[in-house]
Every structure is written in C-alpha cells, then in structure tokens.
Structure 1
Amino acid sequence: MESFIKFTNQSQGRDRIFRATQYACAFTKYLLRNNSARKELVMKLKSLESNMSSGRKLFRLGNTANSVEAAARTLKLSDPILRLCLTVANLNRALYFICDNVLWARNVGLIHDINKDRWSLHASRYYFLSLVMSLTRDVYVISQIMVQRAKDKSFQQKINQHLNDSPEVAPVIIPQIDTFLFVLIESLKNHPAVALDTMKNICDIFIPLDKLGIYQSNAGVVGFCGLISSFLGIVSLLQPNLKMKP
C-alpha cells in the first residue's frame, strides 16, 4: 500500500494511470464499435478517453526540461553507443514534449494560429525517433549481455546440455538459431529490467507507426499496445529495480 501511495503521489505515476485508462477506453471502444446496443457506452468511453488525454498533456508540461536534463546526463556516459542512443532519444523526447505542449495550449485556447494536424505529425515523428533510439539501446544492451553469457564456461555447458536434450530440434531448426534463441531467452530471464523496457518500447512504437502511416494497423491494436505498455510502465515505477539503467 505504501508503494502504491508513493506511486500515485508522483506526477509520472498519475500520468501512467491516466495513460492506462486512456488506452483501455480506446481498446474497449474498438471492441464495442459494432454493438448498436452499446452506443451510449461507446460515447462515454470516447469522452473519458479525450479527458484522460487532456489530463496527461497537463501533467507533461514540465517534461521538456526533464528530457533536456536527461540528455545532458547521458552525454557523460563512457559507452559511445549508449551515449549516442540515449542522448538522441532524450532530445527527440524533448522535441516531442514541446509539440505536445503546443497542442495542449491550442486545445485550451491559449494559442490559435497553428496547424494542429502539422504539429501532431511533428510530435509523432519525434516520438517515433525517440522510440527507435531507445529500442536500438535495448538491442545493444541485450547483445552485450548475450556475449558475456556465451563466454561463460558454465553457461556454455548449459547450452550444450540444452542441445543434447533437444536432438529433435536439429533437423527442423539450424542449431545456431536454436542456440541464439536459448541464449537470448536465458539472458532476458536474468535481466528482467531489460526485457520489460524492450517489450514496453515494442508496444509503444505501434502508436506512432500507425499515426505516421508507416504501418497501418487499427484503433484496436493501438489501444491494446498502449494499454500493455502503460501497465509495464506502472510496474517499472512500482518496482524501481525493474527500471532499466542507464
């Protein structure tokens, strides 16, 4: 209970709750779209989804400064790949939040002379680039873990035992692929924070992919992926040891 109270007292925690509610509404609304008896419920879900989206924009007003500060910190990382991926990701996130803040100001009537669709498109582009760099970081970290695991002698024995225990796999799957998958799964099992972050970013990337028209899905897929990534984000906030660092 104490951790939950601490979580809800954080602006990030409240944003995650609003986000989960927003995408839960979007997903449920999609499932009920053809149910004529639930038209009133669909309208209520649409209204709640819109309210959650507006509330989240308000919570994110200070996130631009946080992202710039995070970019300044990641510039000091010794690993050049991590430094590049995280700095570019944070800078794109900062630009995304700037666009998001402008859209919020447009929605509440503080500014009028902007093209809402164009700013929304820019926001999606920056969000997409941020996620691409975050996923690149995830792949890099996973590859580093896998290399370290593969070099371990005791783990090599475990790989050999796995191949010996599964001789039927060889005729169907190339042994190298089976070994790769085994090392990958074992590596992720021992590094849940990396697995959680990777899954979250994979789910998130479907959102800008759909908005940018790179990969057209539907509102149901976007809602479901957004809901899953929101729950994963809540878990990482509730359990700091599951938050990927750096």
Structure 2
Amino acid sequence: MEAFVDFTNQTQGRERLLRATQYSCMLLSYMLEHKMGKEKVVTKLKQLETSMSSGRKLFRLGNMVHAFVATRRATRLPDLVPRFCLTFSNLNRTLYFICDTILWVRSVGLCSDINKKKWRHRATKCYYYSLVLNLIEDVYELCWRMEQTVRTEKAQTDLPPNSQRVQNLVSLLTGGLQPFLLLLCLTLRKHPPLLLDTVKNLCDLSSPLDRLGICKTNPGIIGLCGIISSIVGILTVASPRLRLKP
C-alpha cells in the first residue's frame, strides 16, 4: 500500500496511470465499435479517452523544463553517439512539450486562434524524431552490451577476448541467425532496463508513424502498443533501477 501511495504521489506516476487508462479506452472502443448494442459504451469510452488525454496534458505542462535540463546534461556525456542521440532527442522532446502546451491552451479555450491541426502535426514530428533517436541510442547500447557478453563468454571458456565490436557481431551473423538471437536474448535478459526502454520506444513509435502517414495502422494496434508502453513506464517510475541510464 505504501508503494502505491508513493507512486501516485509522483506527477509522473499519475500521468502514467492516465496514459494506461487512455489507451485501454482506445483499445476497448475499437474492439466494441462494430458490435451491435454497444454504441453507448463506445461513446462513453471515447469520452473517457478524451478526458484522460486532456488530463495528461495538464500534468505535462512543466515537462519542457525537465526536457531542457536533460538536454544540457546529455551534452556532457563522454561517448559521442549517446551524446548526439540523447541531446537531440531531448531537444525534440522540449519542442514537443512546447507544442503540447500550445495545444492545451487551445483546448481550454484560452486562445481559439491557434491552428490545432498544424500544431498537432508539429508535435507529432518532434515526438517521432525523439523516439527514432532514442531507438538509435538503444541499438548502440545493445551492440556494446552484446560485445561485453561475447567477451565474458570467451573469458569463461579461456578464449582470447581480442575481437572488436564489429568483428564480434559480424562473426555472430555469419555463424547463423540462431547464435545471434541467442546472444541477443542473453544480453537483454542480463540488462532489463535496456530491454524495457527498447520495448517502450518501439511501442510508442506506432502512434506518430500512423499520424504522419508513414505506416498506417488502426486504433486497436495503437491502443495495445500504448498499454504496453504505459505498463513499462509504470514499472520504471515505481522501480527507478529499471530505468535506463546513459
């Protein structure tokens, strides 16, 4: 009970719960949309989804400051690839939250002259670029972890660990798909934060891909991906050790 209270006392925790509820409503309304006699239920689910989305915007009002601070921190990272990816990812997140705030101002009626479609498109593009950069950093981190796993296995079998990262991965790929997949699973199992971050970014990508017309899906897939991503977000907020650190 204390853990739940601590979780809900955090703004991020409440935002994750609203997000999970929003995408659950999206998935349920999609599943019930074409069933007879469920029109009222679908309408209520869509209204609840809209309310959850508005509530999340309210919780995210101050996030542009956190994203800007994260951008400054990322510029100090020693490794070039994580520094580049996380700096520009957080910069895009900052721009996304600015667009999100403008959309919130429009939704509450403070300024009705704002072009909602245009600003939503800008927000989606910033969100998309941020996720792509995060995934590039995840892949880089995964390659580095896989190299460490190979070296550890070689050391345990008394083989000389003198291969470079690219040579290790190329040798695994030329040795067949099965050894590579086994190494991938072993690496991700040893590093849960990397696994969770990769899954979250992949799931989050479904929404901007659909909105930008890059890969059209449906509300059911977006809702399911959103639920998975929200569960991962809840886990990382409830247990910070599961959060990937640069």
Q: TM-score, normalised by structure 2?
A: 0.91
Q: Tell me which residue corresponds to 1:161.
A: none
Q: Tell me which residue corresponds to 1:143.
A: 143
Q: Tell me which residue corresponds to 1:95.
A: 95
Q: Mapping of 1:173-192 within 5 angstroms? A: 175-192=175-192
Instruction: Find the residue that maps to 1:35 and give its secondary structure.
Output: coil
Aligned-partner Cα distance in 1 for 2:155–2:137: 24
Instruction: Find the residue that maps to 1:220 and give its secondary structure.
Output: helix
Q: Structure 1 residue 4: deviation in Å?
A: 1.5
Instruction: Find the residue that maps to 1:31 and give its secondary structure.
Output: helix
> Does residue 18 of structure 1 match 2:12?
no
Q: Tell me which residue corresponds to 1:2.
A: 2
Instruction: Find the residue that maps to 2:205 and give its secondary structure.
Output: helix
Instruction: Find the residue that maps to 2:38 and give its secondary structure.
Output: helix
Query: Taking structure 1 as reference, are residues 153 and 36 closer, same or farther at Cα in structure 2, changes over 3 Å only?
Result: closer
Instruction: Find the residue that maps to 2:62 and give its secondary structure.
Output: helix
Q: Structure 1 residue 176: deviation in Å?
A: 2.9
User: Is contact 1:149–1:155 with CA below 8 Å preserved after alignment?
Assistant: no
Aligned-partner Cα distance in 2 for 1:196–1:62: 25
Q: Tell me which residue corresponds to 1:35.
A: 35
Aligned-partner Cα distance in 1 for 2:78–2:88: 15
Aligned-partner Cα distance in 1 for 2:113–2:41: 35
Q: Tell me which residue corresponds to 2:69.
A: 69
> Does residue 57 of structure 1 match 2:76?
no
Aligned-partner Cα distance in 1 for 2:34–2:153: 58
Instruction: Find the residue that maps to 2:111 and give its secondary structure.
Output: coil
Query: Taking structure 1 as reference, are residues 32 and 244 closer, same or farther at Cα in structure 2, changes over 3 Å only?
Result: same
* Percent of aligned pairs with the same amino acid: 48
Query: Taking structure 1 as reference, are residues 52 and 178 closer, same or farther at Cα in structure 2, changes over 3 Å only?
Result: same
Which structure has greater helix proportion? 1
Q: CA RMSD in A?
A: 1.7
Amino acid at match of 2:220: G
Q: Structure 1 residue 36: deviation in Å?
A: 2.1
Cα deviations across residues 201-233 of structure 1 (Å, max 9, x unaligned)?
000000100010000000111111011100110
Amino acid at match of 1:27: L
Q: Structure 1 residue 239: deviation in Å?
A: 1.1
User: Is contact 1:150–1:156 with CA below 8 Å preserved after alignment?
Assistant: no
Q: Structure 1 residue 153: deviation in Å?
A: 4.1
Query: Taking structure 1 as reference, are residues 174 and 101 closer, same or farther at Cα in structure 2, changes over 3 Å only?
Result: same
Q: Mapping of 1:155-166 within 5 angstroms? A: 157=157
Instruction: Find the residue that maps to 1:110 and give its secondary structure.
Output: coil
Cα deviations across residues 11-34 of structure 1 (Å, max 9, x unaligned)?
100000000000000000000010
Gapped regions of structure 1 (runs ≥ 5): 158-172
Q: Tell me which residue corresponds to 2:241.
A: 241
Q: Tell me which residue corresponds to 1:117.
A: 117
Q: Structure 1 residue 240: deviation in Å?
A: 1.1
Aligned-partner Cα distance in 2 for 1:236–1:153: 29
Amino acid at match of 1:11: T
Aligned-partner Cα distance in 1 for 2:59–2:155: 46
Amino acid at match of 1:189: R
Aligned-partner Cα distance in 1 for 2:55–2:212: 24
Amino acid at match of 1:204: D
Aligned-partner Cα distance in 2 for 1:148–1:175: 18
Amino acid at match of 2:49: E
Q: Tell me which residue corresponds to 1:215.
A: 215
Gapped regions of structure 2 (runs ≥ 5): 158-172
Cα deviations across residues 108-154 of structure 1 (Å, max 9, x unaligned)?
01112221101000010000000001111110000000011112245
Q: Tell me which residue corresponds to 1:163.
A: none
